[in-house]
Chains A and B, each alone.
Chain A
Amino acid sequence: MKKVITGNHAVSYGAMLARAQVIAAYPITPQTTIVEHLADFTADGQLDARFINVESEHSAMAASVGASAAGARAFTASSSHGLALMHEMLHVAAGSRLPIVMANVNRALGTNWNLWADQTDSLSQRDTGWLQFYCESNQEALDTVIQAYRVSEQVLVPSMICLDAFFISHTAEIVDIPDKALVDSYLPECNLVYRLDPANPCTLYGVTSAEFYYEFRYKLHKAMEDAIRVAREADDEFREMFGRSYGLVEQYRMEDAELVLVTSGTAASTSRLVIDELRERGERVGMLRIRMFRPFPAEEIRNALRGAQRVAVMDRNMSPGQGGIMAQELRSALCNTPDRPPVYGFVVGLGGRDITTDVVHRVIEEALATDIPEDIIWMGVKV
């Protein structure tokens, strides 16, 4: 069934079709409509879930942790400061190996309050042990919620699905809403072995000494690594069943590309137009969209970039004192590779500033024009 809906609404459909059982959420713009729709789904019986109107994002994640620990499929959504408030609990959820799925609408962080698109909120949670997916479209947002449960529940690592504020969250487009029965056959019922069960009492998440802590961290990392394979399989099977897939990274017109533009989120859609235009002109440019950021699919990226002469990363995020975060990750993934291409780190579109085709053109031009890139390239800053 196709419907014209916003990205937030699509996420709600994803959670509903995944049969989320406990939803604990707290309002924050521009996330709020996700949980509003879920409250409606729950109220009108389309979704059999317990909805907990918590008093903060911290409690939203705490309640999700409790619910998941007790074996339920838990869902929540947040954004920006809400996500920042959850920070402690993100570590807790991941360390507890709870397959919670959360939608995060990427919004800029204050102070200098701003409600618009910026990925710094979720990227600054990269070390919490959550899988992170960055979506380009409303359809992808819906589909990724469903895929994420499948991956998370297999590897016991929580998932964060990230969508650009307003460009996705509040923009309506045609979305194919999958058949419920088909989703059920794709996503089995939540059945967690390690859970709170009065019939089989155990103590969960207790203290441990250095004797074991190291191994638990190792195992979390191993699960992350495993998630790459599991996510790829889940995406493949999704394609077979639903006719759509996204990959962990998306390669667009990468054949023989000398310059690869690396993007994420909605900037990819704009970039696609520019790539098409330049390819028309015979320029050897391609695009690599990073969909899965955690775990970082380094090997797949290295393979994709083999042969590229220059790599230009567009980061709608910024780590003050270092620059674009995806650029750092990319440099880090490439640095041990022989004949590695230079990585141009462009900081673009912060706080919702438009990334227009003009911006993308200038990024590519700049990358092509400079042999040795600066660490950070500010694109469009008023100086």
Chain B
Amino acid sequence: MPLRGKPTTEAEKIVFRHEAELPPMTRSMGTVLINKTGSWRYLRPVYEEKTPPCRDACPAGIDIQGFVDMLARGEPLEAWRLIRESSPLPGVCGRVCPHPCERSCNRGEFDEAISIHALERLAADRALNEGVGEEPRAPKEEERVAIIGSGPAGLSCAHFLGREGYGVTVFEALPRPGGMLRVGIPEYRLPRTVLDKEIADIEALGVSFQTGARIGDIGELADYDAIFVATGAHKSRSLNIPGEDAAGVIPGVEFLKNLNLGGKNQAGERVLVVGGGNTAIDAARSALRLGARTTIVYRRTREEMPAIEEEIEAALAEGVDILYLATPRMALVKDGRVAQVGLIKTELAEPDETGRRRPVEVAGSEFMIEADTVITALGEAPDLSFLPEHAGLSEEPREIDGTPVFGGGDAFTGAGTVVHAIASGRRGARAIISRLAGAGVAHEPPGPVVPFESVNTACFARQPAVRMPEVPVAERVSGFAEVNRGLPLTDGLEEAKRCFSCGVCNLCDNCLIFCPDIAVIRLNDSYEIDYDYCKGCGICAVECPGNVISLVEEER
């Protein structure tokens, strides 16, 4: 710290033995550094990083504040690298994640949440556009791990094992890797170049993919030292109504898989999609793009719809009709194909075990809708028939024929989002490494989550969030090109600066600037409190924008 003069750093009391040693008047001869005012303190400020609510809300535990901060500093590639510490699929998640982080973002209570989702995509897209990826390397560990399923859970597990040098083979029944990412999510939401790039990054870690390789029996993999089962949930739940077996009634997952693997157009002219989740919306918007008049029928209201809010908005904007509070009772078949669907109105009763209000049919409210295609999207279930009966597999490992087998992803957690699957894959990788290395993997417990009330919002000016621009409706419904355009870099970097940095010091200097005792010392990338002089006034703790500084009682 530049200082003029000679501060009494080694402050020593100035002693006068004789009046002649005194100046004629009270002229200073040293500095007040002699006074160790730290002895006045009864509360001690400490830098104690806490968990930002975004990170807390992220199933994959991505260091969101960290990567946003890197963007704010203009380092998108560093942001990308940081995300990959927790998730191998930033480009995918930046597009299809339902981003619970944004709902938890403290800034949302101030003005608008940070566009974390868009920023994640921005970081990934920079890596993609600049050709930055994982450097190829070969496995270094002797142990080999088989992963069944190349969906997000499998990919995630492969990534985290590959990074640690394990030999990993991923078995995929379909012709291309990616699982639901490839066959479930329409291309207008997730361009395949993005998925391919992120799979390539995993491959670069020495992970090999065997596609078109359906594992009929787990015994086929007895040579491996560990097996991770992540086969996902591809079996659509049925409607259980008369006429369900007729032609034109298609499970949503099947419809999307066929479409995404380049099969024949299964949508007719008049499509009815049953369900309110993301599969329903994906199917409806895809059918619309194939030229069908499309209606979604959902038995609750929009409020209860589990699909991502922005997806619902987009579907409506594109011209998908949504019929709320109705449920199919029967499919009327004509010439072997569905022609009409009989529905009944519902109303909402008391909440059920999921917390959502239970729909009950309204007697006598039946009505009919024309439809030559009915796509069912009532949720998906796993098919684990290749496992021995009663394997009882879960995320907890089981020995099957002497090989430890771990489970993960939708097949076992049922959570149904990419980010949950990624988290599950990482947990699996961690468990496998613990097992193979014979040692637990250290896992720091997260600190307390920063509540909105602890943020010093006075440090921030209200400023709306930047949103990703969209391709105009008329243009986008004519094909499967990506709907959302990414954020321009400059907008993204500005958006990143809106982050409150809850619980994490971003070197804003407030503690330094507002310390009346000049007791906060700035180091290269942190601060230090000089407890010799800090009087414990607590201003730093109050003025810290992100609640990083805590006050603890001084021990006396």
- Taking Cβ atoms with an 8 Å cutoff, the residues of A that contact B are 95-97, 156, 194, 201-208, 212, 215-216, 218-220, 223
- Judge if B385 is at the interface, Cβ distance under 8 Å: no
Interface readout for B49-82 with A: 1 if CB under 8 Å, 0 if not?
0000000000000000000000000000000000
Most buried by A among B4, B5, B26, B29: B26
Q: Given known contacts A201-B5, A212-B16, is B28 in contact with A206 (CB within 8 Å)?
A: yes
Smallest beta-carbon distance A359→chain B, Å: 44
Chain B interface, >50% SS class: loop
Q: Given known contacts A201-B4, A201-B5, is B25 in contact with A97 (CB within 8 Å)?
A: yes
Smallest beta-carbon distance A216→chain B, Å: 7
Partner of A202, one of B16, B22, B24, B28: B28
Sample of 8 further A-B pairs with CB below 8 A, known A202-B28, A205-B26 = A194-B25, A202-B29, A207-B26, A215-B16, A215-B19, A218-B19, A219-B24, A220-B24
Residues from chain B with Cβ under 8 Å of A206 in the complex? 26, 28
Residues from chain B with Cβ under 8 Å of A96 in the complex? 25
- How far apart are the CA atoms of A207 and B26 in the complex, in Å? 7
Residues from chain A with Cβ under 8 Å of B16 in the complex? 212, 215
Smallest beta-carbon distance A89→chain B, Å: 15
- How far apart are the CA atoms of A223 and B22 in the complex, in Å? 13
Partner of A215, one of B4, B5, B22, B27: B22
Residues from chain A with Cβ under 8 Å of B26 in the complex? 204-208, 212, 216
A-B pairs with beta carbons under 8 Å apart, 28 shown: A97-B24, A97-B25, A156-B24, A194-B27, A201-B5, A202-B27, A202-B28, A202-B29, A203-B27, A203-B28, A204-B25, A204-B26, A204-B27, A204-B28, A205-B25, A206-B28, A207-B26, A208-B26, A212-B22, A212-B26, A215-B16, A215-B19, A216-B24, A216-B25, A218-B19, A219-B22, A220-B24, A223-B24
Enumerate B18-48 residues with CB–CB distance to A below 8 Å: 19, 22-29
A200 (CB) vs chain B CBs: closest residue = B5
- How far apart are the CA atoms of A204 and B28 in the complex, in Å? 6
Q: Given known contacts A212-B16, A215-B19, A219-B19, is B24 in contact with A194 (CB within 8 Å)?
A: yes
Smallest beta-carbon distance A331→chain B, Å: 31
Smallest beta-carbon distance A337→chain B, Å: 29
Residues from chain B with Cβ under 8 Å of A215 in the complex? 16, 19, 22
B32 (CB) vs chain A CBs: closest residue = A203
Smallest beta-carbon distance B228→chain A, Å: 70
Residues from chain A with Cβ under 8 Å of B27 in the complex? 194, 202-204
Residues from chain A with Cβ under 8 Å of B23 in the complex? 194
- How far apart are the CA atoms of A205 and B28 in the complex, in Å? 9
Interface readout for B1-19 with A: 1 if CB under 8 Å, 0 if not?
0001100000000001001
Smallest beta-carbon distance A90→chain B, Å: 15
- How far apart are the CA atoms of A156 and B16 in the complex, in Å? 21
A157 (CB) vs chain B CBs: closest residue = B24
Residues from chain B with Cβ under 8 Å of A201 in the complex? 4-5
A207 (CB) vs chain B CBs: closest residue = B26
